[in-house]
Structure 1
Amino acid sequence: MTTVAPNIPAPRSPRRLRGRTNTELYSWLFMRASGMLLLILVFTHLFVNLMTGDGINALDFAFVAGKWADPLWQVWDLMMLWLAMIHGTNGLRTVINDYAERDQLRMWLKVGLYTATTITVVLGTLVIFTFDPCPPDAAADLLPSFCQAP
């Protein structure tokens, strides 16, 4: 009687460790801290935008322009953008590390993730700080009602 060896896939090759670092510990701590801060930032943002004043009926271009005229709301929205993007990127990085089996695939997925994150954060930051609701060379019929016509 002969026995056949079970068809078990070979284990993944261990990733090389470059010294002992606490990167995953710091990543774990960041996720907890940023998650708590994001809860405060997002729910305060929702409360201010939806519950105060005229509520959802007041949300329009003028409302956002008025909010971003105040440096407090620029920094608030910037913190939400940066924390949400870094928090989400870190979470997706963990998923990629857990489920991408080949080293080259894992590397390219992370390159795409970091590229998309960088582009989104840079463009979002530029929009928040360079937003001008009343550009001086725009046609008068395209300007919102609160802008002074040239």
Structure 2
Amino acid sequence: MTTIEAPRTPARPARKGVNWEKWGWIYMRLSGILLVILIFGHLLINLVLGAGVKQIDFAFVAGKYATPFWQVWDLLMLWLALIHGGNGMRTLINDYAHNVLVNRILKWAVLAAVVVLIVLGTLVIFTFDPCPAGAHAADLPSFCPAK
């Protein structure tokens, strides 16, 4: 007869309220499906269609970020991927960091990294300006009109 080992994470008594583990599990499945669609769409547009990788330069990125569609597309990829990865890291920390203090420190570090990267990435997506006002003409790309 085969026996199944006890799980590493001890069972907890049922709690009242929101089951965050269940919603985290559901989020991982749904965000994973959406990320596959977003990432393959991103790869198709950037690498397969057009001139391939040779077309990707500053002007290409500037052209993409000039339209709200691509800003939202990249924003969804950024947020979903970082939260998906952060949730995955949280699960690994729960599985392997048994010391309560180490567990909390690692989870706070992952949360801090995810928040900082989401904020910085979102700022880049929405504040990207290839032709900033007041810049010297020598510092601007060739497609920017001299101001």
**Same fold per TM (> 0.5)?**
yes
2:78 is matched with which residue: 81, 90, 112? 81
Is the counterpart of residue 99 in structure 1 residue 96 in structure 2?
A: yes
Residue of structure 2 equivalent to 1:139: 136
- Offset of residue 15 of structure 1: 8.3
Q: TM-score, normalised by structure 1?
A: 0.87
Which residue identity does 2:78 align to in structure 1? L
Which residue identity does 1:73 align to in structure 2? W
Specify whether residues 22 and 146 from structure 1 end up closer, same or farther in structure 2 by C-alpha distance, changes over 3 A only: same
> Could you tell me whether the CA contact under 8 Å between 2:9 and 2:95 is conserved in 1?
no
1:38 is matched with which residue: 35, 38, 48? 35
Whole-angstrom CA distance in 1 between matches of 2:50 and 2:117: 31
Whole-angstrom CA distance in 2 between matches of 1:92 and 1:18: 24
RMSD of Structure 2 on Structure 1 (CA) = 1.8
Q: TM-score, normalised by structure 2?
A: 0.89
Is the counterpart of residue 110 in structure 1 residue 107 in structure 2?
A: yes
Whole-angstrom CA distance in 2 between matches of 1:65 and 1:82: 21
Whole-angstrom CA distance in 2 between matches of 1:116 and 1:64: 25
> Could you tell me whether the CA contact under 8 Å between 2:9 and 2:94 is conserved in 1?
no
- Offset of residue 121 of structure 1: 0.1
- In our comparison, the structure showing a higher alpha carbon Rg is 1
Among the aligned pairs, what percent are the same residue?
57
Specify whether residues 102 and 140 from structure 1 end up closer, same or farther in structure 2 by C-alpha distance, changes over 3 A only: same
Residue of structure 1 equivalent to 2:15: 19
Query: What number of residue pairs does the alignment pair up?
Result: 139
